[in-house]
Structure 1
Amino acid sequence: MKSFSIDCELEYDVLQQTLFLFNIAVPPAPGQRVRCETIALEPAAQFDEFCDATGANRLLRVNVEPGHFSIRYLAAVDLDAPAIDPSADRTPLAVLPPDVIPYVLASRYCEAEALFALACDAFGSIAPGYAQVEAVCRWIRDNIAYRVGTSSPVTTARDVLANRAGICRDFAHLAIALCRALNIPARFVTGYTRYEDPPQDFHAVFEAYLGGRWQLFDPTELAPIDSIVRIGTGRDAADVAFATLFGTARLRRLSPLVEPSDNTAQLVRLQTPTSGVLLAA
């Protein structure tokens, strides 16, 4: 078991009254436990919390008046090592659980049908299952450059393939699309993790349904999978944006920080005057 301290702060310039839906709180999930947590808004405002239809994502809803606004989430989390089964086979479509079936279908950012030919050519000769998914991850690392600034919030898996470059979100989308093209259910996962380069940000990885359960993969290899604290789970990034807003606001600063802790139920403040990514002066 590993323990982590999380200190996530987002700052906005709100130009008109705006309703925010935040997906930054750590949800209860197999293998992770929230020991304690707190949410602070500046200026103070009422908010409500609820889970989405899948029950996998915790959403915070707040209505904000014009001006400077920030939300800060602190948590102490215990994380078990994820179970890895390299011998896991692909589960036949005919016996997939009903709640898994949506993750074998194409979605907004993962056009599985458009990548079918590539998936068959590159991975069709590999035994269906864990080995295929690992081969997908290796192929992406070998053929797609990790390069900040080469994609946008509307970049799809097919765009990443054409551009041959992207960031963690793009790597995950491409891996998901290729897995689905191979009839392997796959889903998008966002999380907190720590890495030195690129600058600290939310991380995106994916899970594949193999041998009757979900297994976690990181095609970027930016962080060990046993050090990723899950935030959101969905078909692709459209389901798990860290912030969705209805109104007009500009993100000024993004600072999702995480550090290993000493296994105590204590909140640790990690923010400093220079931490995070300053997006607007």
Structure 2
Amino acid sequence: MWLHASCLLDFNIPVDTPFLLMLRPRSGKQQWVGREQYVLKPSISAIEFTDPFGNLCQRLVAPAGSFSVQTSFDIEVADSSDTAFGAFFIPVEQLPEDTLPFLLPSRYCESDRFSKMASSLVQGVAPGYDQCNKIVEYIRTNIKYAPGEGQEIISACEVNERSQAVCRDMAHLGIACCRALSIPARLVVGYLETLQPMDLHAWFEVYVGGRWYTFDPTQDNLKGGRVAIAYGRDAADVAVYTQFGDPVEVLRMQINVEQISPPQY
């Protein structure tokens, strides 16, 4: 399917402030960017680079006063998310090198503290995809998805002690449990066409059967219509904006995603 997506960020900047932005989707096997617009107001210079996870990042200094970032794009994405029950576990020594960072404990995914829990959850389940699915079932059953409730980022250990959480934090718990089983898992931030209320969304992917597969503890049925903006070990790697120095006021953040007809460029 083709989607048109946009993001508007309005800031009140007290003093000139350095920013790192991560708002541009990249084309790949699961999505293709057809048209894109990226507008900074006031217009200022920015430097783009690619981070260690392949994300497109923009570096700039926002001037004092009103400052806005507006992005929009037409993008072709899958209309359904692949499932692969029975996809096999890959031993660590046979994994591609670029998946190895996603095996290690990270700031918000303390996988070294979930070995016993993860093993108990998947007891008797075939190694690989089916284990990951069992972990997601546990999260969905025991933690209520509460969009808009979590402004403070919390770790997997903290999530596991609560009865409700936002998408990002539920994904952290899934990632930590999968890594505890030596299955590479990474956080994805982006857009989901059917999300209500509309906002940025987070889910996670695992590497089994020779490729990455999507898991989303917030959804009863794994939906397509996903636009990936950034990949990382956890939320520390995938902030859509990071500002340095004194705090800035976010006046507005507006996300819109809608299905469109295939464009005729």
Shorter-normalised TM range: over 0.9
Q: Gapped runs of 5+ residues in structure 1?
A: 267-281
Deviation at 1:196, TM superposition (A): 5.1
Number of residue-to-residue matches in the alignment:
263
Give the letter for the 2:201 counterpart.
Answer: H
Give the letter for the 2:75 counterpart.
Answer: V
Per the alignment, residue 269 of structure 1 pairs with none
Deviation at 1:138, TM superposition (A): 0.9
Deviation at 1:150, TM superposition (A): 4.7
Per the alignment, residue 182 of structure 2 pairs with 183
Give the letter for the 1:242 counterpart.
Answer: V
Conserved in 1, the CA contact under 8 Å of 2:147 and 2:167?
Answer: no
Counterparts of 1:1-281 in structure 2, within 5 Å, are: 2-54=1-53, 56-80=54-78, 81-148=80-147, 150-195=149-194, 197=196, 199-221=197-219, 224-248=222-246, 249-264=248-263
Deviation at 1:194, TM superposition (A): 2.7
Question: Partners in 2 of 1:196 and 1:78 — Cα distance?
Answer: 18
Conserved in 1, the CA contact under 8 Å of 2:35 and 2:73?
Answer: yes
RMSD: 1.7
What secondary structure sits across from 2:98 in the alignment?
Answer: coil
Task: Give per-residue Cα distances to partners, 1:130-155, cap 9 Å, x unaligned.
Answer: 11111111110100111245534331
Q: 1:196 to 1:101 in 2, by over 3 A?
A: closer
Percent identity between matched residues is 36
Question: Partners in 1 of 2:226 and 2:220 — Cα distance?
Answer: 10
Deviation at 1:125, TM superposition (A): 2.2
TM-score by length of 2: 0.94
Task: Give per-residue Cα distances to partners, 1:224-247, cap 9 Å, x unaligned.
Answer: 542111100111111110101113
Task: Give per-residue Cα distances to partners, 1:114-170, cap 9 Å, x unaligned.
Answer: 111111112132111111111111110100111245534331010001122210001
TM-score by length of 1: 0.89
Per the alignment, residue 278 of structure 1 pairs with none
Q: 1:125 to 1:215 in 2, by over 3 A?
A: same
What secondary structure sits across from 2:207 in the alignment?
Answer: strand
What secondary structure sits across from 1:174 in the alignment?
Answer: helix
Deviation at 1:17, TM superposition (A): 1.1
Deviation at 1:50, TM superposition (A): 1.6
